[in-house]
């Protein structure tokens, strides 16, 4: 499977996660229902604002758990876009809009993409308090 910044599609029987290119450093986990071009466009604009090259991040459906990506040591950031930790089989509580170190990576949890689009306060906090200081210094 090639990661091309499209959310993975599923066959009837499901798919097995097969890998990430070595250049991917950031993973955006998203809800299955946010598998639309509109949601992907917003994620691309967020990544661009963080100075992430398209090859440096992957958008992944929460149908895959952390166990499927844990072995990829190049991953430095895991961003949960409205996805709960338990959905990824991670048994910790990550505070909302906070950089949290876990399993050798920095984790960031925010609301789902649709809420970010509608809620300017949540979007502002996510950008000003988390993403901008973390990615841009």
In tens, the pLDDT along 53-108 reads 999 999 988 888 898 888 899 999 999 999 999 999 899 999 999 999 999 999 99
Question: Which CA distances in Å does 77 have to 26, 49, 119?
Answer: 5, 15, 24
Above pLDDT 90, what percent of the chain?
Answer: 61
Q: What is the pLDDT of residue 17?
A: 62
- Domains annotated on the chain, with CATH: 26-136 (3.40.470.10)
Q: What pTM did the predictor assign?
A: 0.86
Q: Could you tell me the strand order of the sheet in which 105-110 lies? A: 57-61, 26-30, 77-81, 105-110, 99-102
Q: What is the pLDDT of residue 6?
A: 41
β-pair type (77-81, 99-102): unpaired
- For range 99-123, the mean pLDDT: 95
State the Cα–Cα distance between residues 85 and 81, nearest whole angstrom. 11
Closest residue by Cα to residue 113 from 75, 65, 135, 80: 80
Q: 104 or 14: which carries more pLDDT confidence?
A: 104
């Amino acid at each position: 499977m090639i990661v091309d910044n499209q959310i993975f599609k599923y066959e009837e029987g499901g798919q097995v996660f097969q890998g990430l290119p070595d250049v991917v450093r950031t993973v955006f986990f998203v809800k299955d229902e946010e598998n639309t071009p509109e949601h992907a466009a917003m994620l691309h604009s967020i990544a661009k604002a963080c100075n992430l090259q398209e090859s440096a991040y992957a958008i992944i459906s929460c149908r895959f758990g952390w166990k499927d990506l844990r072995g990829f040591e190049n991953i430095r950031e895991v961003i949960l876009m409205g996805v709960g930790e338990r959905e990824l089989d991670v048994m910790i509580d990550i505070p909302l809009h906070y950089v949290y170190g876990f399993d050798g990576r920095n984790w960031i949890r925010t609301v789902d993409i649709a809420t970010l689009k509608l809620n300017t306060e949540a979007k502002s906090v996510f950008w000003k308090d988390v993403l901008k200081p973390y990615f841009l210094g």
